């Protein structure tokens, strides 16, 4: 399994001849190295309904006929937009032909802001456990620290965990470092930082705070092989 990071919370997973994009916030993301016109994902996985995570999902999915996997209300909304969706919910898992997806809890919000200044509720936010080729990654989505991260790590040996460190909207570096202890992932990668002024952070300081975990700062375009 090949996993690459592309700024903010964007991950690309390549496995079994399929390309999977997580939270494809590309247009408007000054930190990403991706361009919408160059991406043709087979699958898009969304953690929640905020604009900096749903991002360019509709355009990408219509262009490539990608399957969109998302928490139920978000998936239903995107289905109304003509997308091919698979709704899921927290605690549920499903074995697809490209890998297994399981949603975990996340403590955050999830809503889409319309041009008319209305907020459409998009269900509960989630984290994602993705397993393929005998390896498991954990994309925590946007979340605060919660003690059941230990349960997630105990129940699902994690090869790479991608944790938000931006603070303000999610965990900051200190809480994320403690989350890494609970999860016991083999590799911990910071995400969701530096994109906007309120979430400016030093990812190297976060890595230095880790006790027994191997931390890795990934620049946009960097790849890890699992």
pLDDT, tens digit, 9 for 90 and up, residues 175-222? 999 999 999 999 999 999 999 999 999 999 999 999 989 999 999 999
- Tally Cβ neighbours within 10 Å of residue 61: 23
Rounded CA gap, 14 and 195, in Å? Answer: 25
Task: Give the residue extent of every domain in the chain.
Answer: 2-218
Q: Is the pTM of this model over 0.85?
A: yes
Radius of gyration of the chain (CA): 16
Written as one string, the DSSP assignment of 97-146 is: TTEEEEEEE--S--EEE-TTS-EEE----EEEEEEETTEEEEE--S----
- Fold assignment, 2-218: Metallo-beta-lactamase; Chain A (3.60.15)
List C-alpha distances in Å: 104 to 43, 126, 147, 163, 200: 19, 6, 13, 13, 26
With CA atoms as reference, report the closest residue to 98 among 24, 23, 156, 19. 19
Burial, 208: exposed, middle or buried (Cβ in 10 Å; 0-12, 13-18, 19+)? exposed
Judge whether residue 114 has pLDDT over 90: no
């Amino acid at each position: 399994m090949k996993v690459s990071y592309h700024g903010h919370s964007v991950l690309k997973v390549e496995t079994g001849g399929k390309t999977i994009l997580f939270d494809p916030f590309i247009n408007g993301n000054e930190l990403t190295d991706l361009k919408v016109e160059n991406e043709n994902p087979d699958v898009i996985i969304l953690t929640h309904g905020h604009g900096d995570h749903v991002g360019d999902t509709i355009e990408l999915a219509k262009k490539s006929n990608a399957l969109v996997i998302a928490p139920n209300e978000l998936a239903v909304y995107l289905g109304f937009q003509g997308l091919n969706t698979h709704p899921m919910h927290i605690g549920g898992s499903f074995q697809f032909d490209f890998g297994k997806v399981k949603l975990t809890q996340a403590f955050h919000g999830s809503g889409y802001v319309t041009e008319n200044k209305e907020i459409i509720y998009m269900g509960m936010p989630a984290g994602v456990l993705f397993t393929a080729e005998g390896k498991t990654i954990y994309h925590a989505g946007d979340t605060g620290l919660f003690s059941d991260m230990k349960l997630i790590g105990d129940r699902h040996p994690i090869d790479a965990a991608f944790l938000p460190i931006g603070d303000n909207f999610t965990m900051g570096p200190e809480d994320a470092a403690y989350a890494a202890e609970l999860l016991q992932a083999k590799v911990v990668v910071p995400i969701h930082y530096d994109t906007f002024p309120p979430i400016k952070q030093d990812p190297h300081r976060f890595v230095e705070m880790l006790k027994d975990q191997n931390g890795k700062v990934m620049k946009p375009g960097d790849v890890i092989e699992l």
